[in-house]
Structure 1
Amino acid sequence: MTDVRVTHIGGPTALIEVGGWRLLTDPTFDPPGRRYAFAPGTSSRKTAGPARPSSELPPVDAVLLTHDQHADNLDAAGRALLPGAGVVLTTPSGARRLGGNARGLAPWAARRLDSPGRPPVEVTATPARHGPLLSAPLVGEVTGFALRWPGQRHGVLWVSGDTVLYEGVREVGRRLTVGTVLLHLGAVGFPLTGPVRYTLTAARAVELCRAVRPHTVLPVHYEGWSHFREGRGAVEAALAKAPDGIGERFRWLPPGTATEVTV
């Protein structure tokens, strides 16, 4: 079993379907137009709605929530979905805030999803840092996820989470063979913090991919919010300058359409 269907719903939200499992990343289903507060002095306006409404989603077995404290990763409509999921896997601090069916995973901790008639899926939390060194007290705890199931051809499916390039994400490439990565981009920035970026820039994304060497890169979380400083055009420009064919690994998912990916 090597094929998986991925539906990019918008922002960081994607439905991953494999072996009868339905896994949803960072649910965001609010309509556009509202402005949301983040850390003190920072905010962002949602500029695009989801490609599919939450009412059209099939039952979800697990939500992979990279963090709960920012509305561009968990908004009001997304939060309403959580109780109906089989389990919500997130950061330890996020699990304490959410309660209910939320379970926290520290970096490199794992949880196995089992169900009769389905292949087991092992979910391992991976390091992520949502900003520069020492920014954690302001931005909070964040995680990525590596998904492993029997029959993967190229390696694990990795959800990077909102992160900058630092030693923690480089470690993913040393510990794991990555087949496919849902790569959070966007170069998040705010007027208050000037040139500081809180997610991967296009140039840093290329550098990370050169270190991790995934077979396929699925860009997500680069549009739909006013705090993004780089969109698809900036990423494609950086890929055009990359000397070693990294750009050939990038695959832009059509919004709202299930796309088969060989993992």
Structure 2
Amino acid sequence: MTTLTHVGGPTVLMELDGWRILTDPTFDPAGWRYGFGWGTASVKQRGPALSAEDVGTVDVVLLSHDHHADNLDDLGRALLPGATAVVTTRPGARRLALPNARGLAPGETTRLTAPGRPPLTVTATPCRHGPPLSRPVAGAVVGFALAVGDRSGVAVWMTGDTVLHRPLRRVARTLDVDVLLLHLGSVRFPQTGPLRYSMDGRDAVELLALSRPRVAVPVHYEGWSHFSEAPDHLRDTLAADPRAGSLVHWLEPGIPTGL
């Protein structure tokens, strides 16, 4: 069984076969405004359900990207040196310059071991954090597929911040996923009009049809001013599709949930 605790935004504590894994650490309070480059910015509208101290010891941090504050903020960054391993993008690992940081490109894998626990295999999956040709602006981003011990299949797949694009569809068809952690929200900025930088509910329905996980958990869809899809609309979109609606589990922030 996998236990998930949603801290807020993209930040989830995963307890998986003795491993304590934290995704995209964000612990700053609400009300702060952060720049994202090229004139774009966003305001954090909701603080974390738990503090970093409440979360406690972490073995692994899965950091989809280090250069946007809604995925790594100041208090989240302070937590990184205390983790056994921080797995992120190759450019992110270089920027962090931490001895525990491991950089992966999409398709690359790293294997983590610890006494008394099964090995944890982390494979980076493709992300495109915006429309075509946006990578020079949006930067490198990855998702993560986690496998435990010698079991077949993926225990958890975290999509990371991405639009639905061809490499993501291709990976979704090949993975045998237990729990799918979906980054949604349909990010938009006034400066770039209708262009989207993350998936919306309709994209989630398509991705679920391709990947067919045992359960899907939406995260990172509220609490920031740059999300353009209202949470109620997202819920209605997923509930309206009988295949998607039966798979989706909504987490209560701060409450450990076994899946």
TM more than 0.5: yes
Q: Which amino acid aligns with 1:115?
A: A
Supply the distance in 1 between the matched residues of 2:236 and 2:3 (Cα, whole angstroms): 28
Q: What is the correspondence of 1:24-63 to structure 2 with a 5 Å cutoff? A: 24-63=22-61
**Paired residue for 2:92?**
94
Supply the distance in 2 between the matched residues of 1:166 and 1:205 (Cα, whole angstroms): 12
Identical residues among aligned pairs (%): 54
The answer to whether residue 139 in structure 2 is matched with residue 135 in structure 1 is: no
- Give the drift of 1:154: 6.9
The answer to whether residue 215 in structure 2 is matched with residue 186 in structure 1 is: no
Supply the distance in 1 between the matched residues of 2:17 and 2:169 (Cα, whole angstroms): 29
- Give the drift of 1:201: 1.1
Q: Which amino acid aligns with 2:215?
A: T
Supply the distance in 2 between the matched residues of 1:190 and 1:173 (Cα, whole angstroms): 28
Do 1:37 and 1:43's aligned partners in 2 also have CA atoms closer than 8 Å?
A: yes
Do 2:45 and 2:225's aligned partners in 1 also have CA atoms closer than 8 Å?
A: yes
Supply the distance in 2 between the matched residues of 1:190 and 1:239 (Cα, whole angstroms): 24
- Give the drift of 1:216: 0.6
**Paired residue for 2:210?**
211
Q: C-alpha offsets along residues 51-98 of structure 1, whole Å, 9 cap, x if unaligned?
A: 001111221111000000100000000000001111110000000100
* Secondary structure, aligned partner of 1:9: strand
Paired residue for 2:83, among 82, 85, 90?
Answer: 85
Q: C-alpha offsets along residues 25-54 of structure 1, whole Å, 9 cap, x if unaligned?
A: 000000010100002110000000000011
Supply the distance in 2 between the matched residues of 1:167 and 1:238 (Cα, whole angstroms): 22
- Give the drift of 1:11: 0.1
How many residue pairs get aligned? The number is 258
- Give the drift of 1:245: 2.1
Q: Which amino acid aligns with 1:107?
A: P
Q: C-alpha offsets along residues 8-36 of structure 1, whole Å, 9 cap, x if unaligned?
A: 00000000011211000000000010100
* RMSD, aligned α-carbons: 1.3
The answer to whether residue 232 in structure 2 is matched with residue 226 in structure 1 is: no
Do 2:33 and 2:41's aligned partners in 1 also have CA atoms closer than 8 Å?
A: yes
The answer to whether residue 156 in structure 2 is matched with residue 160 in structure 1 is: no
Supply the distance in 1 between the matched residues of 2:59 and 2:91 (Cα, whole angstroms): 22
TM-score, reference length from structure 1: 0.95
TM-score, reference length from structure 2: 0.96
